[in-house]
């Protein structure tokens, strides 16, 4: 790989420029109440690594926030939809088949 043979400072500059070209500033709130559609657009266009980082940190922050039960269920449902049938079965087995 070309980066492996480059001087460390040069490799750092190349990687930093590459990452900077691919980052977004994330969804921005506005007075027209389009945050949901803005977030959907941003989620569809953001690099997957950036999206994963925002979701992960957002979930950590929301874990400590006062959210209604329906909002927490909506988040859980969206995470659940992303799991394969095998992962869903493994999760249910791990938590005791829903008992308790």
Collapsed DSSP state (helix, strand, coil) of residue 58: helix
- Regarding whether 15 and 43 lie in a shared domain, the answer is yes
Give the count of domains, the chain: 2
4, 43: one domain: yes
For residue 3, give its domain range.
1-26+34-65
Tell me which of 65 and 6 has the higher pLDDT.
6
User: Whole-model pTM?
Assistant: 0.50
pLDDT tens by residue, 50-85: 988 988 888 888 776 766 667 778 888 988 999 999
Going by C-beta distance under 8 Å and a sequence separation of 6 or more, which residues neighbour residue 43?
51
Same-domain pairing of 54 and 92: no
Regarding whether 89 and 79 lie in a shared domain, the answer is yes
Q: Are residues 61 and 74 both part of a single domain?
A: no
Instruction: State whether 46 and 90 are in the same domain.
Output: no
pLDDT exceeds 60 at position 100: no
Same structural domain for residues 51 and 89?
no
16-20, 69-73, 81-85, 94-98: segment of lowest average pLDDT? 16-20
Residue 49 has pLDDT above 60, yes or no: yes
């Amino acid at each position: 790989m070309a980066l492996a043979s480059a001087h460390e400072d040069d490799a750092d500059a190349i990687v930093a420029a590459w990452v900077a070209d691919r980052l977004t500033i994330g969804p921005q709130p506005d007075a027209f109440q389009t945050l949901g559609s803005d977030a959907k657009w941003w989620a569809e266009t953001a690099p997957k690594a950036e999206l994963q980082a925002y979701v992960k940190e957002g979930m950590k922050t929301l874990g400590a926030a006062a959210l209604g039960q329906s909002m927490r269920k909506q988040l859980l449902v969206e995470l659940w939809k992303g799991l394969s049938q095998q992962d869903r079965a493994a999760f249910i087995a791990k938590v005791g088949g829903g008992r308790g």
